[in-house]
Amino acid sequence: MRITGLGHAGMFIETVGGNIICDPVLGPSFYGSWFPFPDNRGLDWERFGREADFLYISHRHRDHFDPKLLERYIRKDIEVLLPEYPIDDLEQDIRALGYTNITYAPAGEIIHRGELKIMITPLRAPSDGPIGDSSLSVDDGTASVLNQNDSHPLDLEKLLGFGKPDAYFTQVSGAIWWPMVYDLPLDAKQNFAKLKRDAQNKRAMYYIEKVDATHVFPMAGPPMFLRDDLFDFNGVGRNGESIFTDQKQFLAHMKELAPQYDGHLFVPGTVVTVEGASVSTEQSLYTEAEIAHIFDEKWDYLESQRASRQQEIRDEEASRAEIIPPAEMLETLKAWWEPLLKKSRTIRLGVGGCVRFKIGELDMVVDFPRAKVREYAGEECIYWYTIPADLVSTNIRDREIDWSNSIFLSMQFQVGRSGKFNEFLTTFLKCLSVDRIEYVENWYQEQTDQTEDAEVGDWLVQRRCPHLRADLTKTGKVDEDGVLTCSMHDWKWDLNTGRCLTTSGHPIRSSKIDEVIEGALRPAV
């Protein structure tokens, strides 16, 4: 088996049973903000498109799903392998491009194509990517690989039931706007950014140790930001206020913590040959000297990329919609959002307040408790966004139902909040369709915890994490102050009170084991 890096999370897997092209992206994505790092334009895209037998799209995020690249290079009769998601937004996107030979991979089931075995493992929680993320397992009898992509699977036993991979490809860098665009002092941004990078590293190491594959390939980030207003957010940030760990930095981190694993650099043009336990790599696009320049003299490399790619940014800006007048924009958003708010009882209760949006000349508030959209009139708000009017106008023109997969991942906005992060708000803003809202509301209703309690350290807690249902006996750790941390997403709870310390809501059921024993032994009166 041979795997060629295509940039970001993209790869071309050559097997004895056919070739799979995975998440090919040229970009730029998210309103011209994200470019693959390093530059992947020099690859032979004609060849990859011509020789691919299967197309796998892991999820709908635009740094994984690039419609322009698909239309230009991938033939329309190719077999498209899609995760089995509860809503069909990704399928609709694919069909709109003219692809009709679509195979839905049943969750966790093996698909056979001759000697080739394929398994797609989807995730379906509201906070998984754009309501859905997935991984790809491939075995052709000569080797086995796991492309975990951006996904953070909870049921690793089921995933690894496919077999232990010979080579493991996984995301180690983030894809989020926290804390760079927040209304915070620089020192707070620096502190939060470090905490976020540490949490990302911890989560990546958790999966590496659980999968336990000898050969590990960090991928799926970081991006390049080549817009002038975002340029300083590259990597860890010009001033240390950003969250993006690059492949070389993570490999050094992994070598220090877990030297038993062989970490390999995986960039555009890296060719990985896997023959069972034997794994070798070579670079087909960049020389060793060029790779050293890219990573060791990163700001120089990024400056050269910025200088040469401004036309792509200008072309994207020219494709945006004309700005909608404020009164018309308010009425349009009111007609669009209020029916969804009325269907969103759990989300409205979870947000629990007003959210202000300053969009160009429009100053409006979304009153979640009352399910209303109106002009801002001085109300106290728990969140406040400032968003360019042309981005919102374009989302309205395109009826973009996921503002996370467009405006927010573009990082071309500012935000502030009073209090903690509110997951319910971000969920609403990426669920701007009836199908999505109804699915998410049902999902939240099903999360009422009815599982047994289990011991975690000196505490008895509900076995399933209130966030995404991870098994806390495997992912939870309690410190001396009684703070429980779930290693999946670094969410924290104060077990003395059951209160979530990371976000609003999501309390946990907990009690100290010695108190439970004492209560059980106390005689009845």
| Per-residue pLDDT tens digits for 172-228 | 988 889 999 999 999 999 999 999 999 999 999 999 999 999 999 999 989 999 999
User: From its phi and psi, is residue 498 left (phi > 0), alpha (psi between -120 and 50) or beta?
Assistant: left
| Per-residue confidence (pLDDT) for residue 514, from 0 to 100 | 74
Average pLDDT over residues 350-372: 97
Q: Is the pLDDT of residue 438 over 80?
A: yes
Q: What are phi and psi of 182, to 5 degrees?
A: -80, 155
Could you tell me which of 160, 170, 157, 153 has the C-alpha nearest to residue 139? 160
Q: Which CATH superfamily is domain 2-313 in?
A: Ribonuclease Z/Hydroxyacylglutathione hydrolase-like (3.60.15.10)
**Alpha-carbon span 233 to 174, nearest angstrom:** 13
Query: Domains of the chain: which residue ranges?
Result: 2-313, 326-433, 453-521
Instruction: Write the DSSP assignment of 33-56 as a string of letters.
Output: TEEESS--TTS-HHHHHHH-SEEE
Residues in the chain: 525
pLDDT band at 522 (very low <50, low <70, confident <90, very high): very low
| Per-residue confidence (pLDDT) for residue 465, from 0 to 100 | 83
| Per-residue confidence (pLDDT) for residue 469, from 0 to 100 | 67
Q: What is the CATH number of domain 326-433?
A: 3.30.1050.10
Distance of CA 48 to the CA centre of its chain: 25
Asked which of 91-95, 331-335, 472-476 is least confident by mean pLDDT, the reply is 472-476
